[in-house]
Structure formats: structure tokens, C-alpha cells
Amino acid sequence: MSSMRMKAAKCPSDELAITNCALINPDDFNSDVKHIEISTGPSQHFVFSIRFYSGVDRGTVGFSAPQRKWATLSIGQTIDVKPFKAQNADCLCNVTLEADFMVKKTTSMEPYDSEQMARDFLIQFSNQIFTVGQQLAFAFQDKKVLSLIVKNLEAVDVQALAAGANAVPRRVRMGRLLPDGNIQFDKAENSSLNLVGKAKGKQPRQSIINPDWDFGKMGIGGLDREFNAIFRRAFASRVFPPEVVEQLGCKHVKGILLYGPPGTGKTLMARQIGKMLNAREPKIVNGPQILDKYVGESEANIRRLFADAEEEEKRCGPNSGLHIIIFDEIDAICKARGSVGGNTGVHDTVVNQLLSKIDGVDQLNNILVIGMTNRRDMIDEALMRPGRLEVQMEIGLPDETGRVQILNIHTKRMKEYKKIADDVDSKELAALTKNFSGAELEGLVRAAQSTAMNRLIKASSKVEVDPEAMEKLMVERMDFLHALENDIKPAFGTAAEALEHFLSRGIVNWGSPVSSLLEDGQLYIQQARATEASGLVSVLLEGPPNSGKTALAAELAKLSDFPFVKVCSPEDMVGFTESSKCLQIRKYFDDAYRSSLSCILVDNIERLLDYGPIGPRYSNLTLQALLVLLKKQPPKGRKLLILCTSSRRQVLEDMEMLSAFTGVLHVPNLSQPEHVMAVLEKSDAFTKRDLQKIQHDIRGARIFIGIKKLLALIDMVKQTDEESRVFKFLTKMQEEGGLDLGTNVQ
């Protein structure tokens, strides 16, 4: 049959519009016509399934609004219409449809069962002709009318199937829907339609990980284990499609807390996580920025941070993009509620607002909050439970392998441009930089660079740069060693200056008691290092005043070669209140727990406890704090050696403190003439003849003098003339009570 000239008309009713059929007057075509092809131009051909309806004028075709939109028809437009034979169309086996609400304003999060939708679609539209790009209205049960667009069609060769051949579906532009066809629904982009069920197509979604991201270029050294743990806990669930997560019934991790010493890479890791994820630009917030002088503004600032995420969650549901909020110094705004003085309660309400936003009644599933702090102990406990900042990762000091990685990162550019000498070995530097943080290693590289640059600067009357500096500039091993010795000292390193001060006279080995003490001390050091040991070894060196306890303790601390050595001395806490003294001691121990091998030297315990024999009086608060810390086991995998000194053994025993120590070493005074002679021979104060006279005079005498007092006497007599030195020395020994000759000195 040849084509007829007809006019496009409006569909008479909404009920007929949802049939997806063009409406024809029964007098225009034979009743056996099921489909028509319309032509609006030379290459504009559209096929519609038809339904006869007497309410349409003769010579017109009734089209619904989606049909007119698809075929770009206007009402009253002249079109060529001719019958279309169904056998000319392929048999569709797979149809993919993009679904959205017909009226965008009337959105709903009510679930739409895609399997039931597919069944209803087949009942309503089987044997109809469909074309890729076609638009139609679909009334599903008693819910809101949906707008569907045909996205993909696959057909199968029916004759090949009948012959028993294995027919593979192929993509086609147009075809007739079989009653047993497979229907799949995709949600339109930015639609809030909530599709559920197995007929829901795979959502076109961006990968959570940026496709251009290279893990090798992260610039994070020594944090591989921590980064892997964060990835496993926080991002693994986000890599999988929402369908898989839905089947598991799991919720994404919404918060990470990075804590640890300053300079270890917390902010760097948060920054890199933000870059790695294919998400919105992270919002980086410094804790103090949130606080505002006006009432209610601090809480409003928190709400504003989450406003974008809330709006997208309402609009896109499970397919919302990820919103990252990074809080630097989170302890500034999330202190434990009730801990901040004053009656304003501002801090408390800020914490409450943050808690309700992360995991309140109207919780969001499209956010990731990353908090960073050096003071985890100050943060409100409610913020650290599962569902809030549940992944808590300590970013600690890097180990030797990590230090090699960090040094390689910071020297990479120099190696590229051949500005670093061949004698610079990252492994050697890593071995020398125990307990350096990442920031301190970066500072070390900068200091070495400045030393190398300084060699090429002539500072005479005016500063001149060597004209050939570009070629000559080379950072050498000696520059790094100079920087290590003079410029950069690790915050969590050895208290080298304090130990050197205690050991300014060295250790004078005046006899077997000293050798025995050093041997026993070495055994305790080995016990502290041993992997099978408990992790805590505490040793008390007790003895009379001036017997050299502090110097011996410093020597043992030095011999241990532990990367972290801290000296806790009363001289650093003069005028401290009891509570501030306890906090300071606690800080020493907290810092020690951050290193794998740590040593704390607690000097002169009775002074630390404010002990006075008249009364007697002492600080019970400090005593209890010390008792707790002396017995507290360090964290798993950490080793702690505590060396304490005291001149009041009996006092510590009365305070029930001796039982807190793993071992007690007695440091005696010199008690034999040969002990004194051993010290005098090592000094250069006396001639050989003088030494013979002193040895003769003190033979058989009773001696009781501390090594510190004896060395002070030797220093004093050095100031006298050589003839009277022996007399002066022996007289002063008697006056000090360290020598009882029984006869007058001649």
C-alpha cells in the first residue's frame, strides 16, 4: 500500500498515552495493520505500533507527548504514513531502558521493583515495535508515571534458533518485542528514582579511584602498611558497585582519624587521599576556623560543611558522589564534652552538631570525614565509636625502610639533575636517622642542600655567588653528616646533650663494683631488647649521695643505643605544681610509647616527689603517677627501659616503690685505699712520687667517699702548688669525712 498524507494530532487521553501506540481512525486503515511507518523528511522515518480509536479524526494520527518529542512532531504537521510489516523487524530478546520520573518535580525515594516493572512492561508492550532513542510513558502499578527511553536493543535470529543453532544476540536499531524478552532498567543520570531488584542495570558510575592515579607517585614514604589498612577499611566497599554493597547490606566507613607525633605525614596522607579519590574537591577545614564569636555560628559552620552532601544525597540517593571533609587539628573543636571551662558550652554543642551530621537520625552515606590530631586523648569518645571516626590509624615514626623511602622521595629531583654525589647512600643515612619523623628527614635534606650551597657563596664585603655554581653545585655525604651533627635533631631522639652533660667526666672504673654494675646493667638492656620479654624493664640505681648514680645511669642509657632516650629530671620542673609535674612526666612516657625502643632516665626520684626529711613531706599525687607509669606495659611491639636514680632507698621502700622495679642496683662509695689510688692514677694531678706517698699514708685507713666528691677534691688540689698537693688532698679528705687515718697527716 502506498503512503498516505495525514496530519499529526494530540492523543485524546492520558489512558491512551500510556499504551505507547499511535491512534488511527478505523476508517483510515485495514484492521490487519498493526504498525505504521511515518516519514517527516527525506531520511526521517519512525515506526509506531498502532491502536484503532474512533475518537480520532479521519486523516489524522494521535501521538502522545513523548512520541511527539521523539519524532519531533508538532500538532497539525503533515506526515507521510504507510503500513509497516512486522516480519521486516528483528525479534528483540534484550531491551535496555533508561528510566526517570515523567514529572521531575514530583520525586520520591520509594523503591521501584525492577523485576515487577519488567513483567508489567512485557504485559503492556509485547509485540510492539521499538527503536533505539524512542521515548514512551510507562504507568507502573499505582505509582508515579515514568518516562522511558530505549537505550539498547538486541535481537536473535528466530530461524536459527528453530533449526537448533546457537544464535548469539546482536545489537540492532529497531525490532519487535517478544513476549519472553529480557527487560533491563537503567536509572537516568542525576535521577532520584530508587530502582531495586535484579532487572536493575549496572549504573553508569565513575570509579571511586581516579583512573590517572599512580600509587607510586603518592610521595608518602614509610606509610605503606598504614595506607593499605586505611584503603581496606575505608575504600574497599566504595570500589564495588552499589548493587554488591546493597546485597551485603553494609554501610560505608564515614570517618577516619589519623593521629600521631607531629611531622609524621598525617596531613600529607589526608591530602593524598583527597587527590586519589574521584570525588568532589575535598573541603579542608582547620579546627579553629569553625569557632565563631557569635552564638550559634559555630554550629552553623558545621552544617554548611555538610550542606552539599545532603543536597546530593536527596537528589541522587545511592549514586551520589563522595564528599570528603578534612579536619586539621580536630582536637580544637572536638574536645571531650564537659572538659572545657566556662558556662557557654560552645565546644559541647559543636561536638553534638558534628556527631549528628556524621551519624545522626538523618545520616549521610556519601561523606568521608578525615580528622587529624596529635592529641587523640583530648577528643570526645563518642566521636570515635563505629559509625563515626571508626578507622583510627596511628601514623607513627617511620622505620628504617620507611626512612629510606622518604629520603629517596626528597632526593629524587636532585638525582634526576645529577646534583647529588655518588657517596650519598640513603640506606646509610636511614641507619643514622633513628626516630626522625618524615618532616625532620625533609629538613635534613634541606639543611644538607644549604650547606652545599654555602660552599659556593663568598661572603666578603658583599655576598657573591660563584659564577659557575650551576655546574659545581653538588650535595655530598659530608653535607648530610654536617646537617645531622649541627642542624637537625629529632624531637623523639636521644637527649644527647643531657647525657653528655652527665658524662662530662666520663665513667671512672675505680674497681670491681663499677664493672659489676655495668655488667648487670648490660643484662637489663638485653632483657629490654629481647623480643620474648614483656616489653618493660625498670631498674633503680640507689646509693649514697655523690656515688655517681646519675653518670652510671647515663652510661647505661648511652650503651643501650635505643633510638629514643629522654631524661626526666627535677631541674626541668622547678616551681611546677603537682598536677603540671604529673602531666610533664606523663608526656615523657607517652612520647616513649611512640618509639619501638625507648629509654627514660628518671633522675633523683626523691626530689621529683618533693621529699623532705623534716616533716617528712612528699607529693602523693606525683608518687601515684610514677607508680602507675613504672608498672604500665608499653603498647604491643614497643620496648621500654626505665632507669631511675635515688639516694634514699629506705624512703622509696616506705613508699612501697621498690616493688615496682624489675631490678635494684646498689652504687657504693669508694671504700678501699686501692679504689682511691685507681682514681688518682687516672688523673694527672699528682706525680709518681706523690702517688707513692699517698698510697703509703692511706694504707690501712678507713675510707668512705663518693666518686663525685673525690673528683671535686682532685680538681680543687690541682689549683695549689705541687709541693703541698699531697698534704692538701689528705687533709681535705679527712675534713670531708671520707678518710679516717687514725693519726695526723705529716
Task: Please say if the pLDDT value at position 464 is more than 80.
Answer: no
What's the longest Cα–Cα distance across the chain? Answer: 152
The dihedrals phi and psi of 46, each to the nearest 5 degrees, come to -135, 135
Contact 570, 603 (CB under 8 A): yes
pLDDT at position 645: 92
Task: Please say if the pLDDT value at position 165 is more than 80.
Answer: no
Task: Please say if the pLDDT value at position 696 is more than 60.
Answer: yes
Quick one: pLDDT band at residue 362, thresholds 50, 70, 90? low
pLDDT at position 744: 43
287 three-class SS? helix
pLDDT digits (tens, 9 = 90+) for 147-161: 889 998 888 876 666
pLDDT at position 459: 63
CA atoms 685, 688, 692, 693: torsion sign: negative
Percent of the chain scoring above 90 in pLDDT: 3
Contact 592, 617 (CB under 8 A): no
Task: Please say if the pLDDT value at position 24 is more than 60.
Answer: yes
Question: CA angle at residue 149 from 57 to 98, to 5 degrees?
Answer: 150
Contact 93, 178 (CB under 8 A): yes
Among 273, 297, 298, 293, smallest CA distance to 284 is for 273
pLDDT at position 343: 46
pLDDT at position 229: 80
pLDDT at position 486: 83
Name the CA radius of gyration of the chain, rounded.
42
Task: Please say if the pLDDT value at position 630 is more than 50.
Answer: yes
Find all residues with CB under 8 Å of 38, minimum gap 6, and list them.
22, 45, 46, 47, 48, 61, 71, 79, 80, 81
Mean pLDDT of 87-115: 81
Instruction: Quote the CA–CA distance of 148 and 134 in Å, as a whole number.
Output: 8
Nine-digit cell string for 12: 485524546
Output the CA–CA distances (angstroms, integers) from residue 340 to 331, 335, 344, 578, in the order listed. 12, 7, 9, 21
- DSSP label of 21: -
pLDDT digits (tens, 9 = 90+) for 171-214: 888 888 888 888 888 888 777 777 777 766 655 444 555 555 55
> What residue type is 556 in one-letter code?
L
pLDDT at position 340: 60
Across 303-428, the runs of DSSP E, i.e. the strands, are: 323-328, 367-373, 391-394
Nine-digit cell string for 91: 525479534
Q: For the CA atoms of 16, 17, 21, 25, what is the dihedral angle to 10 degrees?
A: 50
The dihedrals phi and psi of 190, each to the nearest 5 degrees, come to 65, 15
Task: Please say if the pLDDT value at position 42 is more than 60.
Answer: yes
pLDDT at position 211: 52
| Strand-pair partners of 36 | 48, 83
Instruction: Quote the CA–CA distance of 41 and 275 in Å, as a whole number.
Output: 51
CA atoms 89, 94, 100, 101: torsion sign: positive
Instruction: Quote the CA–CA distance of 268 and 569 in Å, as a whole number.
Output: 35
pLDDT at position 539: 92
Task: Please say if the pLDDT value at position 325 is more than 70.
Answer: yes
Mean pLDDT of 377-390: 82
pLDDT digits (tens, 9 = 90+) for 550-568: 889 988 888 888 888 888 8
Find all residues with CB under 8 Å of 307, minimum gap 6, and list them.
none
Task: Please say if the pLDDT value at position 355 is more than 70.
Answer: yes
Nine-digit cell string for 22: 499511535
What secondary structure does DSSP assign to 459-528, as a single string? ESSSEEE-TTHHHH--B-HHHHHHHHHHT---TTSB-HHHHHHHTTT-----SHHHHHHHHHHHHHHHHH
Task: Please say if the pLDDT value at position 95 is more than 80.
Answer: yes
Contact 276, 319 (CB under 8 A): no
Task: Please say if the pLDDT value at position 131 is more than 50.
Answer: yes
Among 272, 268, 267, 239, smallest CA distance to 253 is for 239
Task: Please say if the pLDDT value at position 132 is more than 80.
Answer: yes
Among 540, 613, 602, 536, smallest CA distance to 569 is for 602
pLDDT digits (tens, 9 = 90+) for 563-585: 888 888 888 888 888 888 999 89
Nine-digit cell string for 702: 678507713
Percent of the chain scoring above 70 in pLDDT: 87
Find all residues with CB under 8 Å of 655, minimum gap 6, and list them.
609, 618, 623
pLDDT at position 573: 87
Quick one: pLDDT band at residue 745, thresholds 50, 70, 90? very low
Contact 47, 36 (CB under 8 A): yes
Instruction: Quote the CA–CA distance of 132 and 479 in Å, as a whole number.
Output: 71
pLDDT digits (tens, 9 = 90+) for 261-276: 888 888 777 777 777 7
Nine-digit cell string for 537: 624493664
Place of cell 552544617: 303
Find all residues with CB under 8 Å of 153, minimum gap 6, and list them.
92, 94, 95, 96, 130, 131, 132, 171, 172, 173, 174, 175
Mean pLDDT of 114-140: 88
Mean pLDDT of 399-406: 85
Instruction: Quote the CA–CA distance of 407 and 401 in Å, as a whole number.
Output: 10
pLDDT mean across residues, the chain: 81
Instruction: Quote the CA–CA distance of 524 and 555 in Å, as a whole number.
Output: 13
Task: Please say if the pLDDT value at position 746 is more than 50.
Answer: no
Place of cell 604491643: 636
Nine-digit cell string for 581: 609535674
- DSSP label of 727: H
Q: Are strands 146-156 and 135-138 parallel, antiparallel or unpaired?
A: antiparallel
pLDDT digits (tens, 9 = 90+) for 502-534: 787 778 888 888 888 899 988 988 888 887 777
For the chain, domains (ranges, CATH) are 4-88 (2.40.40.20), 91-196 (3.10.330.10), 215-394 (3.40.50.300), 400-487 (1.10.8.60), 496-666 (3.40.50.300), 673-740 (1.10.8.60)
Record the pTM: 0.63
Instruction: Quote the CA–CA distance of 313 and 234 in Å, as a whole number.
Output: 19
Phi-psi region of 535 (alpha: psi -120 to 50; beta: other; left: phi over 0): left
Find all residues with CB under 8 Å of 140, minimum gap 6, and list them.
112, 116, 117, 120, 146
Residue 344, number of CB atoms within 10 A of its CB: 10
Mean pLDDT of 622-634: 90
Nine-digit cell string for 301: 559552620
